[in-house]
Amino acid sequence: MNIALTVLIILLAVVLFTAAFVLMRTMRFSQPLPTAEASEKLAVDEEAAAAHLGEALRCKTISFSEKQPASPESLLSLHEILEKNYPEVHKQLTLRKINEYSLLYTWQGSNPELDPVLLMAHQDVVPADPETLQMWEHPPFSGEIAEGYIWGRGALDIKNQLTAILESVENLLQSGFRPQRTVYLAFGHDEEIGGPQGAKVIARHLEEQGVRLAAVLDEGMPILQGSLPGVEIPVALVSNCEKGYLTLEFSTELEAGHASTPPKQTAIGILAQALARLEAHPMPGHPEKMSPLFQAIGGAAPLSTQMAFANLWLFKRAIHKKLSVQPTTSAAIRTTTAVTIFQGGVKDNILPRQAHAAANFRLLPGDSIRDVCDHVRKVMADERVQFKFMEGGAWEASPVSPTDNPAFKAMEETLHQIFGGIPVAPFMMLGATDSRHYAAIAENIYRFSPMMLQADDIKRVHGLNERISVEQLGNMVRFFTLLIQRWDEAEL
């Protein structure tokens, strides 16, 4: 046999073997889609829940900024409404007000051996942009119920969850349910400005009491349709981790001089060039972080996506390139860099003595604050550029909570019971939630809002015409009612 033919046969064998291997891995990768059918709807008084949410939306608990948190009057009026609408909760649970306005309810369980669970939401909302007020179909603090929706700032973020949790506990109390496992309800009053006086202090209080939490559920993504490329069915995006946060301040200082005899580079030029290098060299991407998501979505994802994620050994570079194009998918696989502030110069004919800038980083689990600083130093590679932490907080990415445990399984089963056989996929929150403050006392921390939305609805969060349908609010109440019971029985 001549050599060329032998080589050809060997090559062909390698190609065939590789193709078979890729296919086999693809077939093994995806879990079959859940086939569960939604069970008969749990009876919930949707009209009452909607009316209660409407009342809560009328309280202007607006966190404008750290210096201008939600007003005491607005928070106290919300507390009054909660007391009026949830009499059994206020009769049978212990309420502790933390820093006056944050609420921590304790529903004492009968078995002190069991670790408690915690359900969370927050009382504050972001402002409605005064310039777009006339573009709201129903005013943002009207709490109007119209066309099957409850309208207002906070309807999706996150007075809906606050209402649904209290509604479900009130219903359970009325039905005579008593938990074995203690249930905490924690509603901070300053999440939209980082939760320094609310969730952070509640978490410290629980830690001081020696509390260890079996599971935590905070606000998060909903069940979304049309949000993942090529995936048409709705997917429940349950977050089991969230990104960290860091802002670095940069400065360059040079001697002043006259603009008629400038050096080769001014402070502005030096800093601008260093920042351009920073933008050109993002932190490395990790497409494998999205693997569990696509594994859970299984056969509902396009075959090419399944094949690529099942065979990262072969397609990692290609996937990395593809995911890096869109800002949202790029943010899902790497620590992002956003240069957000640049200042320098005072007059057109004076050389600037200083230039200042800031860049905001959102850290992927696995990248530490130290890794980011090392990367920045290496990429900028200019001793004339100094940097330091900006005041106001930096935190590491959260630990990654497991998804193969009874706490997650209980959420999955509850979702199937209400919404039928939708995939429940682990997801990384790109933004921050109050739940990060509980990392020291809980391993199983999840973020999720149990309502079905269209991809377009996400724009309403912090945007115009925020609203939730009466039906989906009802589903949220159903979810918490069932989850509290499941978590009570599960071996957490």
Residues of this chain that interact with Zn ion (CB under 5 A) are 157-158, 219
Q: Which of 55, 157, 191, 192 is catalytic?
A: 191
115 is catalytic: no
Which residue, 158 or 271, is less far from Zn ion as judged by CB? 158
Which residue, 52 or 153, is less far from Zn ion as judged by CB? 153
Q: Measuring CA to CA, which residue among 373, 480, 463 is closest to residue 140?
A: 463
Q: Tokens 């590679």 belong to which residue?
A: 381
As measured in angstroms, the least distance from the Cβ of 431 to Zn ion is 9
Q: Which of 124, 157, 192, 219 is catalytic?
A: 124
**Cβ contact 185:165 at 8 Å:** yes
Which residue, 190 or 219, is less far from Zn ion as judged by CB? 219
276-314 core/surface letters (b: 16 or more CB in 10 A; e: else) = ebbeeeebebbbebbbbbbbbbbebbeeebbbbbbbbee
As measured in angstroms, the least distance from the Cβ of 424 to Zn ion is 21
Sheet containing 336-344, strands listed edge to edge, beginning at the edge strand earlier in sequence = 336-344, 354-363, 244-253, 385-389
Contacts of 438 (CB under 8 A, 6+ apart): 118, 199, 203, 206, 213, 216, 445
Which residue, 58 or 122, is less far from Zn ion as judged by CB? 122
As measured in angstroms, the least distance from the Cβ of 123 to Zn ion is 10
Residue type, 220: G
Which residue, 293 or 432, is less far from Zn ion as judged by CB? 432
- Grouping H, G, I as helix, E, B as strand and the rest as coil, residue 102 is strand
Q: Phi-psi category of 393—alpha, beta or left, where left has phi over 0 and alpha has psi -120 to 50?
A: left
Which residue, 158 or 166, is less far from Zn ion as judged by CB? 158
Q: How far apart are CA 11 and CA 372, in angstroms?
A: 43
191 is catalytic: yes
Which residue, 309 or 427, is less far from Zn ion as judged by CB? 427
As measured in angstroms, the least distance from the Cβ of 204 to Zn ion is 21
Provide Rg for the chain, Cα atoms. Answer: 26
Contacts of 372 (CB under 8 A, 6+ apart): 246, 248, 283, 335, 361, 363
DSSP 8-state assignment for residue 465: S
Beta strand segments in 189-335, E: 215-225, 235-242, 244-253
As measured in angstroms, the least distance from the Cβ of 154 to Zn ion is 9
Which residue, 158 or 193, is less far from Zn ion as judged by CB? 158
Tell me which H or E stretch contains 362.
Answer: strand 354-363
Beta strand 424-429 pairing with 235-242: parallel
- Residue 122: C-alpha distances to residues 68, 84, 155, 437, 476 (Å): 17, 19, 12, 13, 16
As measured in angstroms, the least distance from the Cβ of 403 to Zn ion is 22
**Cβ contact 95:161 at 8 Å:** no
As measured in angstroms, the least distance from the Cβ of 91 to Zn ion is 29
DSSP 8-state assignment for residue 247: E
As measured in angstroms, the least distance from the Cβ of 90 to Zn ion is 24
| Catalytic residue list | 124, 191
